[in-house]
Amino acid sequence: MVGEVAVQLVASLRSMMSVKDICKHFGIARSTYYRWKQASTYARSRQAIERRIGELCRTNKFRYGYRKITALLRQEMCVNHKVVQRIMQKYGWQCRVKVKKRKRTGQPYAIAANLLNRDFEATAPLQKLVTDITYLPFDEKQLYLSSIQDLYNSEIIARKWIYSVYVSPTQSFALRVYIAK
């Protein structure tokens, strides 16, 4: 704060006296005055950069990261990407990352008809069977767990690990289980 006041006083008295005489009168070295002057101009330019970064972030709805904001700023002024990154981190103006949807492997599936109509009660065994496939990612491949449940007593009557869903695993599995019983 002292430096800013001294810089303002020297600027106002400069028309009457030299900088050397003013500094000698206040008891400060000229190098100290020039250091304070440089610091105050740096602070003003830093505030201008911060304001402009804030404007760019708000106008672009925080969709751009520091690289894109730096590219936009460089059209107007010379600024380093690290400065832009630090300012954006300081104020929390980081770009909001859109969550990517995971790509589904295998063939597209068709929606089956609703045969149960939410009636999950059976009066006899093997009257109503339901199935489910659970996807388990392992490294670069998927492993599938196919299970069949009898709605009569909620018992899992069959389960199978499948490495590929290109052949309709549930239908072929259900047929084999039904034929085996």
DSSP string, 30-86: HHHHHHHHHHHHHHHHHHHHHHHHHHHHHHTTT---HHHHHHHHTTTS---HHHHHH
Q: 25 lies in a domain?
A: yes
* C-alpha to C-alpha distance for 128 and 109, rounded to whole angstroms: 22
Which among 62, 91, 120 is the end of a domain? 91
- Judge whether 122 lies within some domain: no
The answer to whether position 7 is within a domain reads yes
Q: Which residues neighbour 168 within 8 Å (Cβ) at sequence distance 6 or greater?
A: none
Residue 115 covered by a domain: no
Q: How many CB atoms lie within 10 A of CB 70?
A: 20
Which pair of structure tokens corresponds to residue 97? 């990352």
Q: Which domain holds residue 38?
A: 2-91
Residue 15 lies in a domain: yes
Domain boundary among 91, 121, 145: 91
Tens digits of per-residue pLDDT, 131-142? Answer: 888 888 877 788
- The three-state secondary structure class of 160 is strand
pLDDT value at position 1?
45
Q: List the 129-138 sheet strands across, edge first.
A: 129-138, 141-150, 155-162
Along the 181 residues of the chain, how does pLDDT read in single tens digits? Answer: 477 777 777 877 878 888 888 888 888 888 887 888 887 777 778 888 999 999 999 998 888 999 999 999 999 988 999 999 999 999 998 887 778 777 777 677 777 788 888 888 899 988 888 888 888 887 778 888 888 888 999 888 888 887 766 655 555 665 565 545 5
Number of structural domains, the chain?
A: 2
**What is the sign of the dihedral through the CA atoms of 52, 56, 59 and 65?**
negative
**Which of 57-65's residues contact partners 24+ apart within 8 Å by CB, and which partners?**
57/88, 57/93, 62/93, 62/94, 62/95, 62/96, 63/95, 63/96, 64/95, 65/94, 65/95
Residue pLDDT, tens place only, 1-31: 477 777 777 877 878 888 888 888 888 888 8
